[in-house]
Amino acid sequence: MPKFAANLSLLFNELGFLDRFAAARSADFDAVEFLFPYAFEAEQITGRLQRYGQELVLFNFPSGDWTAGERGFACDPRRIGEFQDSVEIALEYALELGVKQLHCLSGKQHPAVAPERAHATFVDNLRFACAALAPHGIRVLVEPINDRDVPGYFLTRSAQAAQVIADAAVDNLFLQYDIYHMQRMEGDLAHNLRELLPLIKHIQLADVPGRHEPGTGEINFPYLFRTLDELGYDGWIGCEYNPRGATLDSLGWRDAIAAHTAASAA
């Protein structure tokens, strides 16, 4: 049975952010993730993690102006200095919060920047970030994101992400595989998980369409979870979905998956 982490940027958002840790603990989540910590003092978050005995498994490098539609800038050759500054900020928080994986958003490709230059800039920036984080035992992850939800996003396919990782040629760069995004872009999820497993250090989920909880759409999650168990995946799976109602009402899928797993093993 996979290990699930609550994504506190999407789940329990009927509460204020700092109150979501307690809600996740009440819902039996031993681990959490979120998009960004930067609006808070690190001590505010570490206090919650310690109080509720939770592991923080992931957050993102700074993204730029999220509300204006920015989704990172690591592929933008005009913003290399800004990216390097963002690595310093992310590392400071990572060390305070004890997280061992950070996601580097590629950003959107600027219309005036050729794809080859965007790729080279992304690879160089990833090498810089990985070199800064490696002495602290922290991995950098890259995640393909579907370009229907985020038009213009540079990193959109798993093969493209694998090529970025190969070209960077560093030891602490890996793949964050989002089931929702890759179902929208590629499908063939079980095959791709098998092929890419050596690169995958984190997985996220939501169903398609709607980005709601498992069981609301077309993805066969029991089969995927069984596949991951068979493959020996031992990392976390972040629950990064938009509940159709209250978060607690959306969690019945976990019990259904556990029951399905037990019945399959019997």
- The CATH number linked to 113 is 3.20.20.150
List the catalytic residue out of 82, 186, 195, 240: 240
Residue 251: helix, strand or coil by DSSP?
Answer: coil
**Amino acid code (one letter) for 11:** L
Alpha helix segments (H runs only) across 170-251: 179-185, 189-196, 221-231
For the chain, give percent helix, strand, coil, nearest 5: 45, 15, 40
Structural domain including 118 reads 3-265
Q: Quick one: what percent of the chain has pLDDT higher than 70?
A: 97
pLDDT of residue 256: 83
Query: Which of 149-158, 178-187, 222-231, 252-261 is predicted with the least confidence, judged by mean pLDDT?
Result: 252-261
Domain tally, the chain: 1
Reply yes or no on whether 92 is catalytic.
no
Answer yes or no: 143 catalytic. Answer: yes
pLDDT at residue 265 in the model: 56
With tokens 């989704």, the residue in question is 71
How many angstroms separate the Cα of 161 from the Cα of each of 2, 143, 234? 24, 7, 21
> What is residue 266's predicted lDDT score, i.e. its pLDDT?
52
The single residue of 143, 186, 213, 218 carrying the catalytic annotation is 143
Bigger pLDDT: 258 or 171?
A: 171
Given the DSSP bridges, would you call strands 200-205 and 101-103 parallel, antiparallel or unpaired?
unpaired
Tokens in use for 211?
A: 């980005």
Asked if the model's pLDDT at residue 263 lies above 90, the reply is: no
Global pTM exceeds 0.75: yes
